[in-house]
Structure formats: structure tokens, C-alpha cells
């Protein structure tokens, strides 16, 4: 038996007036998902333990079978694993987004945060800017590391797990009372703006009508993660296919294999087909029992508040990933079990993550069911099937 999880990050949502009361999943044209749903177990999964912050970190740990209440030690330590940054036990890792602050002529504290991703800046451009900050601000206590696109890393020697504000939660707001309480972190953010605001690369971005990447924003502080081996835990040889450092880091921590796909970049224009083909190859040719395929795009579109682009990302998941995986697995004659789900909702109306349970499909090629439901939040709720502890779903997937 082969196993696959295909996860649309942030895909779930709430009913929208603009969609006549439907959600993007309900409104999107998804013939493959709906066909699968009619042959599968359909239900709701509670991925975010009560009291924990909804995010891709806690949610994907859950879906992969790691109880966040035990294994979660912050977001950016997982990203540090992906970048290959060795963390000492006394180190604190912090996510360093490169963000866009308003250009109005006011003190730093009175600036408005406009964009948590600097227009999904390319890794090349961001690296130039992060290096410029590193040159000025790096010292014994604080080390800067370039990550992917707008997601970078700061390692704080003998630091503290301070509570910091997530930039995608405060878009359009004045930053003053959202800045770190810790004076060193606060001062470094302010200094990063002085270094970046009129950097030639940002002047060129402004001239090209792009959002300048003119300040670092620290959040997601955490300590060294201690994940146990996935293969020892499940007796399954697992592979990860994702463009984002968080998921790659979870895979490193779980000693799974990261499969990188050319052109997979976490945006709406990612290489869908390449990811689907890589998943099938991993299962049918490369000896993996299990593959975890993560698609970032729906989450980013949720943060951007774009209904149209979120629907497009869901339709792309259906037509340019699921269709390929199902067709090729069916043609291979291999028995397989397939779990399709989001990790958490990123509703357009709030442009950030929520803890609402997510709809899932569990398909078994050896025992297709006959149902007449489609794949969306409303119909999943109507089945009455509900799993309260998200980290137990992987055992359910592997039970046959």
C-alpha cells in the first residue's frame, strides 16, 4: 500500500457574499476533488490544539502526526532546520520577514505596515537586502541568515522566547504598539529600516511600481525543535514536497527526505505539475511508502485577501496536481490511500489563520465508497464525521 497526503495550505474559508454565500472551495470548479469525495470518507479534522496559535507550523506538525502540544517549540526553529542552521540548545531562532512599511515622512513608530511579504519579493532581491542589514547589524549575539523570498532568520545567542506580533495579522495598521518590547530587537528593526529604506534596490523597486522591502520584522521566536524520526514512529519511509522552509524544516527534523522541485516557489505561479510528477515518482519509482505534498498558494492568496486568486489556486490544485496524481496512481495498479485537506483555514474576510476544523477526504483505492457529497466545508460538516485530535489522523491513514 502506498500513502499520500496532498495539502492545500489555508484552503478552507468562510461563506462569502461575493460568492452568493459559498466558500472558495465550494465555488471553485474541482471535478477531481468532488469525484474523490463521492468515493471517500469525508469529515472534519481539528488540526490546531485548543490554546495554541493557528498557523502552518502547529497545523502541519499535527497532520504529520506530531502532537504540537508536545513537539512544538516555535516556528522559526523549524525553518532554521531547513536552512541548515545549526542551533545550540541555548539559541533562540526568530523569523525575520522583510516587509513593506509606508513611505510617509513620520517617525518609524508611526509608520503603517502595508505588506508582510514585500510583494512576494524574490529570494535574489531579498538576499541583497538581508546581506546589507547583516553587514551592519550582525554580531556575537545576533546572526542573520537568508531564507526564501520574504522569510529569513535571526539566531539570538542565549536569547529569550519573547512574544512577538505576526506581521500578516496587522496589515494596514500603525506599527508603534506592535513593535517588540525587547529594546535590542526593537532597535534592530528600526536600524534595518534606516539601512534598507533608500537602498538602491528599493529605489529601483519603487520606480518599477513594486513594494519596497524596507524593514525587517521579527516574530515566531522559539527553541531547538526535538522531533522524533518519522520512520521509527510509523515504519513508513516518507518524503516531503514543499517550497517553503517551514515544511522542509519539519521534514529535516523528522528525518524524512525533502524532494525539491524546480520552479516550486510557494506562489500562485508555482510548478504544480512538477510537484505532482515528483510525488508519483517518489511512490512508484523511488521506494517511498509515503509522500507529503504541500501547496502554499491558497494560504498566500488568503493573506492577500484575493477571492479570485484563491479560487484559482484551488482549481490549480485540483486540475494540475490531484488529477495527475490520481490518474497515474490508478494507472500504476498500486493500492494507495490518499488524504486531501488544508492545514487550517485562511479566510479571506480576516486575511489570517483560524482554528476552525478543516474538511478532509480519505480515499482508499482498494475500497472506494459510494456517496453523493462534494468536497467542501459545509458538506464535510454535514457528514458528522469529526476527529478532535488532528495528530491522530496519520494513524488513521496508515491503519490499512
CB of 343 or CB of 379, closer to Zn ion: 343
- As measured in angstroms, the least distance from the Cβ of 64 to Zn ion is 13
3-state secondary structure 253-275: HCCCEECCCCCCCCCCCCCHHHH
Cα(332)–Cα(280) distance, rounded to whole angstroms? 10
Helix (H, G, I), strand (E, B) or coil at 341: strand
CB of 300 to Zn ion, least distance (A): 10
Report the nearest approach of Zn ion to the CB of residue 30 (Å).
19
Q: How far is the CB of 62 from Zn ion (least distance, A)?
A: 11
Q: Report, in Å, the least distance between residue 353 CB and Zn ion.
A: 6
CA–CA gap between residue 282 and residue 280 (Å, rounded):
5
CB neighbour list of residue 22: distance below 8 Å, 6 or more residues apart: 15, 16
Residues forming the site for Zn ion (CB under 5 A): 9-10, 56, 299, 343
Residue with Cβ nearer Zn ion (188 or 251): 251
Residue partners of 63: CB distance under 8 A and separation at least 6: 5, 7, 45, 47, 341, 343, 390, 391, 393, 394
Kindly tell me which of 299 and 379 has the beta carbon lying closer to Zn ion: 299
User: Smallest distance from the beta carbon of 13 to Zn ion, in angstroms?
Assistant: 13
Q: Classify burial at 192, counting beta carbons within 10 Å of its beta carbon; exposed 0-12, middle 13-18, buried 19 or more.
A: buried
Using the minimum distance from each CB to Zn ion, give the nearer residue, 116 or 205: 116
Judged by beta carbon, residue 56 or residue 214, the one nearer Zn ion is 56
Q: Show the cell assigned to 307.
A: 477571492
Q: Of 243, 245, 244, 298, nearest to 268 (Cα)?
A: 298
Take residue 201 and report the three cell numbers written for it: 534596490
Q: Which residue is nearest to Zn ion (CB)?
A: 56
- Looking at the Cβ atoms of 245 and 343, the one nearer to Zn ion is 343
Region of 230 (left: φ > 0; alpha: ψ -120 to 50; beta: rest) is alpha
- Nearest CA to 126 out of 245, 241, 301 is that of 245
CB of 267 to Zn ion, least distance (A): 14
Amino acid at each position: 500500500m502506498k500513502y499520500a497526503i496532498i495539502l492545500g495550505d489555508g484552503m478552507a474559508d468562510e461563506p462569502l457574499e461575493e460568492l452568493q454565500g459559498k466558500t472558495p472551495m465550494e465555488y471553485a470548479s474541482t471535478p477531481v476533488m468532488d469525484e474523490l469525495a463521492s468515493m471517500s470518507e469525508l469529515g472534519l479534522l481539528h488540526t490546531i490544539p485548543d490554546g495554541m496559535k493557528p498557523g502552518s507550523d502547529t497545523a502541519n506538525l499535527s497532520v504529520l502526526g506530531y502532537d504540537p502540544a508536545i513537539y512544538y517549540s516555535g516556528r522559526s526553529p523549524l525553518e532554521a532546520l531547513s536552512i541548515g542552521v545549526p542551533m545550540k540548545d541555548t539559541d533562540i531562532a526568530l523569523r525575520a520577514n522583510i516587509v513593506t512599511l509606508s513611505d510617509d515622512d513620520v517617525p518609524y513608530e508611526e509608520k503603517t505596515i502595508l505588506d508582510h511579504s514585500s510583494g512576494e519579493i524574490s529570494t535574489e532581491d531579498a538576499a541583497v537586502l538581508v546581506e546589507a542589514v547583516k553587514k551592519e547589524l550582525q554580531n556575537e549575539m545576533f546572526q542573520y541568515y537568508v531564507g526564501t523570498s520574504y522569510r529569513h532568520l535571526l539566531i539570538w545567542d542565549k536569547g529569550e522566547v519573547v512574544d512577538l506580533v505576526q506581521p500578516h495579522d496587522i496589515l494596514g495598521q500603525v506599527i508603534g504598539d506592535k513593535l517588540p518590547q525587547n529594546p535590542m530587537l526593537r532597535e534592530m528593526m528600526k536600524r534595518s529600516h534606516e539601512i534598507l529604506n533608500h537602498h538602491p534596490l528599493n529605489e529601483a523597486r519603487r520606480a518599477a511600481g513594486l513594494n519596497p522591502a524596507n524593514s525587517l520584522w521579527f516574530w515566531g521566536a522559539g527553541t531547538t525543535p526535538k522531533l522524533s524520526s518519522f520512520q521509527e514512529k510509523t515504519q513508513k519511509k516518507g518524503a516531503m514536497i514543499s517550497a517553503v522552509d517551514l515544511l522542509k524544516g519539519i521534514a529535516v527534523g523528522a528525518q524524512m527526505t525533502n524532494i525539491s522541485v524546480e520552479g516550486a516557489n510557494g506562489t500562485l505561479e508555482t510548478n504544480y505539475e512538477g510537484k505532482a510528477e515528483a510525488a508519483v515518482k517518489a511512490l512508484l519509482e523511488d521506494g517511498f511508502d509515503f509522500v507529503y505534498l504541500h501547496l502554499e498558494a491558497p494560504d498566500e492568496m488568503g493573506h492577500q485577501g484575493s477571492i479570485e486568486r484563491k479560487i484559482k489556486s484551488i482549481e490549480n490544485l485540483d486540475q494540475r496536481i490531484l488529477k495527475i496524481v490520481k490518474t497515474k496512481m490508478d494507472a500504476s495498479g498500486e493500492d494507495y490511500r490518499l488524504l486531501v485537506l488544508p492545514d487550517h483555514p485562511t479566510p479571506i474576510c480576516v486575511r489570517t489563520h483560524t482554528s476552525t476544523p478543516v474538511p478532509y477526504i480519505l480515499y482508499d483505492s482498494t475500497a472506494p465508497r459510494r456517496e453523493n457529497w462534494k468536497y467542501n466545508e459545509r458538506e464535510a460538516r454535514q457528514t458528522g464525521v469529526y476527529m478532535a485530535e488532528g495528530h491522530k489522523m496519520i494513524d488513521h491513514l496508515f491503519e490499512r
